[in-house]
């Protein structure tokens, strides 16, 4: 009687690529992404054993808490597997979940709509659960879909990060950095630092996303950004993020040179003096809006808005036109050029703390770490 053939052994390096996505189960795929593990041995296994073996592998590796938790949350999804989940299927699933439309999702991932629908159905068969409720003109996630979506986004984001880490090559000749920043940081701090970084590493693409701290924290958490410049304290403190204080910045009052000087002509102005001024105010969700409104309320009055809802450039333009005064960072006022009068706030004044944030569970890519170093050493 012939002896059974030995099970095939696959060795995968830590830098995962989609080329291997059809060979192993998603539980094992998450194990591959664990940080600081140089290589793993993964046995080909059938669905009945995949959960048990994946758990055993996790207990032998130096994992962080989130990795084990993610694997445990996938246990219920992974039971009963007969074939392998592919990254392509996860990409299609996330596209449909975000667009809530199969045709638009197919356009987004550059595939024919029937092919996308077939892959979604195959994924649902593998998981043993419907991911979408389908009604004419209305696509919604089921409970199983809601459970899978954040994990699928994390897997895809980590795979994308790993792929770009490999592509950055020696001496950072190519690659990318995804940096989030508040609009005032894009106007004030970043131009000089980004110019120096680009001069040193011209092959690195810089992708900048402007937003409020709340939005940037959310984008960091889901893996859409490598680094972000945020205002402390964070709207919602997150143990999943690491923050390093970068600078403490004074705020000043800007006004049109053609308008009366705020504070009855004094060289400095108190927050209480703004009670008699009409303010040009930033849109909701802007860190400076919350800070200014809170300072006015602490002095016992509600600020009077001449116009509200703008971004930094719009606010400065409205002030130049004489519509009112605004409270802005000193660094922004210094770079704003002509057409603005700058009046410091009297002590204790108003300040804000800027920090550099990144995910705690995943080290930033090499190019992002270099930009981080230049920001901290500026």
Domain assignment of residue 115, given as a range: 87-164
pLDDT band at residue 273, thresholds of 50, 70 and 90?
A: very high
What is the C-alpha to C-alpha distance for residues 227 and 207, in angstroms, rounded to an integer? 11
Give the distance from CA 93 to its chain's centroid. Answer: 20
Could you report the per-residue pLDDT of 180-230, keeping only the tens digit for each?
Answer: 998 888 888 899 999 999 999 998 999 999 988 888 999 998 899 999 999
pLDDT confidence band for 96 (50 / 70 / 90): very high
Q: Which residue has the tokens 């703008």?
A: 310
CA distances from 215 to 97, 218, 221, 225, 260 (A): 20, 5, 10, 11, 37
Judge if 365 and 228 occupy the same domain.
Answer: yes
Residue pair 155/87 in contact (Cβ under 8 Å)? The answer is yes
CA atoms within 13 A on the CB side of 200: 12
Q: What pLDDT, on a 0 to 100 scale, did the predictor assign at position 277?
A: 93
Same domain, 335 and 369: no
Q: Is 292 within the bounds of a domain?
A: yes
Using one digit for the tens of pLDDT, what is the confidence trace for 143-155? 999 999 999 999 9
Does residue 37 share a domain with residue 25?
A: yes
Residue 297 lies in a domain: yes
The overall longest dimension of the chain from CA atoms, in Å, is 102
CATH assignment of the domain containing 119: 1.10.10.10
- At residue 217's C-alpha, the angle toward residues 233 and 334, to 5°, is 65
> 4 in a domain, yes or no?
no
Where a domain ends, among 78, 95, 123? 78
Q: Is beta strand 132-135 parallel, antiparallel or unpaired with respect to 39-43?
A: unpaired
For the cut 90, the answer to whether the pLDDT of residue 356 exceeds it is yes
What is the Cα–Cα distance from 322 to 325, expressed in whole angstroms? 8
pLDDT in tens, 101-131: 999 999 999 999 999 999 999 999 999 999 9
How many domains does one find in the chain?
Answer: 4
- Asked if residue 371 belongs to a domain, the reply is yes
Output helix, strand, coil percentages for the chain, rounded to the nearest 5.
Answer: 45, 20, 35
Whether 239 and 363 map to the same domain: the answer is yes
Residue 6 lies in a domain: no
pLDDT-based confidence at 252, cuts 50/70/90? Answer: very high
Residue that is last in its domain, among 164, 192, 218: 164
Both 224 and 369 in a single domain? Answer: yes
Residue 7 located in a structural domain: no
Same structural domain, 199 and 237: yes
CATH code for position 335 = 3.40.190.10
Q: What is the residue-averaged pLDDT of the chain?
A: 79
Task: For residues 296 and 15, give the distance between their C-alpha atoms in angstroms, rounded to a whole number.
Answer: 52
Cα–Cα separations (whole angstroms), residue 5 to 2, 8, 9: 9, 9, 12
Question: Under a CB-based contact definition with an 8 Å cutoff, are residues 174 and 204 in contact?
Answer: yes
**Do 228 and 358 sit in the same domain of this protein?**
yes
Q: For residue 25, what are the CA distances in angstroms to 40, 82, 113, 127, 335?
A: 14, 10, 25, 12, 53
Give the DSSP letter of residue 358. E
Tell me, what DSSP letter sits at residue 252? E
pLDDT on residue 46: 38
One domain, residues 152 and 29? no
Decide if 184 is inside a domain: yes
Count of residues in the chain: 378
So what's the pLDDT on residue 180? 96
Q: Which of 27, 46, 78 is the last residue of a domain?
A: 78
In this structure, is residue 5 part of a structural domain? no
User: What's the mean pLDDT in 359-367?
Assistant: 89
23 and 98: one domain?
no
Q: Are residues 254 and 331 in the same domain?
A: yes
Give me the pLDDT at residue 169, please. 55
| Percent of the chain topping pLDDT 90 | 52
State yes or no: pLDDT of 75 exceeds 70: no
**Are 363 and 318 in a shared domain?**
no
Residues 209 and 280 in one domain: no
């Amino acid at each position: 009687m012939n002896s059974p053939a030995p099970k095939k052994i696959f060795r995968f390096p830590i830098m995962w690529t989609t080329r291997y996505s059809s060979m192993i189960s998603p539980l094992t795929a998450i194990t591959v992404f664990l940080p600081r593990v140089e290589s793993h041995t993964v046995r080909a296994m059938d669905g009945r054993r995949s959960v048990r073996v994946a758990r055993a592998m996790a207990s032998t590796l130096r994992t962080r808490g989130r990795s084990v938790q993610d694997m445990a949350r996938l246990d219920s999804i992974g039971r009963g597997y007969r074939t392998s989940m592919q990254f392509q299927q996860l990409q299609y699933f996330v596209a449909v979940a975000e667009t809530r439309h199969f045709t638009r999702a197919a356009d987004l991932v550059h595939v024919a709509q029937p092919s996308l629908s077939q892959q979604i159905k195959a994924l649902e068969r593998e998981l043993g659960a419907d991911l979408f409720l389908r009604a004419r003109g209305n696509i919604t996630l089921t409970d199983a879909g809601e459970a899978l979506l954040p994990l699928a986004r994390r897997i895809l984001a980590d795979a994308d990060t790993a792929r770009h880490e490999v592509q950055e090559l020696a001496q950072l000749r190519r690659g990318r950095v995804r940096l989030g920043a508040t609009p005032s940081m894009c106007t004030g701090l970043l131009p000089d630092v980004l110019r120096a970084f680009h001069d040193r590493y011209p092959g690195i693409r810089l992708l900048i996303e402007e937003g409020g701290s709340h939005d940037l924290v959310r984008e960091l958490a889901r893996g859409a950004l490598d680094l972000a410049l945020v205002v402390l304290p964070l709207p919602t403190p997150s143990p999943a993020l690491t923050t390093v204080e970068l600078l403490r910045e004074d705020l000043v009052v800007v006004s049109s040179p053609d308008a009366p000087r705020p504070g009855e002509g004094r060289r400095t102005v108190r927050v209480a003096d703004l009670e008699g001024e009409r303010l040009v105010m930033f849109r909701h969700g802007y860190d400076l809006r919350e800070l200014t409104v809170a300072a006015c309320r602490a002095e016992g009055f509600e600020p009077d808005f001449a116009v509200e809802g703008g971004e930094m450039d719009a606010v400065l333009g409205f002030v130049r036109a004489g519509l009112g005064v605004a409270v802005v960072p000193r660094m922004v006022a210094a770079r704003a050029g002509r057409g603005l009068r700058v009046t410091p706030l009297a002590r204790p004044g108003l300040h804000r703390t800027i920090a550099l944030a990144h995910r705690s569970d995943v080290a930033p890519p090499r190019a992002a770490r270099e930009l981080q170093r230049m920001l901290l050493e500026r």
